[in-house]
Amino acid sequence: MLSLQESLKILKETKALIEGHFILSSGLHSSKYVQCAKLMSIPNQAIKICESLASKIQREFNDFDLILSPAMGGIIVGYELGKILNKQSIFCERVDGEFKLRRDFKIKKGEKVLIIEDVITTGKSSLECSKLVISNNAKVVGYACIINRSNGNSEIKDKIISQVELSIPTYNKDNLPKELLSIKAVKPGSRNL
């Protein structure tokens, strides 16, 4: 299993964790930005993180049938972990603002489902996935992600298994620390196109 330092080194080398001055999709400002798509775009590095996370998942959740991930961020992570753990991996997509199963994906009654994401911040996407599981008369066994940056403030009340936990402070634009004031702010991410 990878140490925290080894995991952070991979995240920084792949530019999945970058430093600067960022305006997040929430409108808050941050000195660090997480984009796991950058990690997943370099398979020989991503596999190291995914194998390490799979070991943690096996210790914590040894009995589950299916992996469910939210589109887009969780799809590749869910696929890789499904391959490593020998479990079926499906994903849900937003249709009219709500997660739905498409592409003839099914969650069978009574199945035990592990919800996997790339990054958990508020936990809203994971909880939307859990509603989908419950509406199909199945059971959520837990949650896992590459990076948990919820700082304990997630709406998820169950344990979250992660490869890395990060505490990344955020700031309102009127309350920026001095070090961010001197750096030009950028809007990264898929929602800021």
User: What is the CATH code for 4-192?
Assistant: 3.40.50.2020
Q: Where are the domains of the chain?
A: 4-192
The pLDDT tens digits for 20-49 are 999 887 788 889 988 899 999 999 999 999
Model's pTM, two decimal places?
0.86
Distance CA 156, CA 140 (A): 12
Cβ-contact 48, 166 below 8 angstroms: no
Distance CA 58, CA 114 (A): 11
The mean of the pLDDT values for the chain is: 89
Q: Is the pLDDT of residue 162 over 90?
A: yes
Q: Is the pLDDT of residue 95 over 50?
A: yes
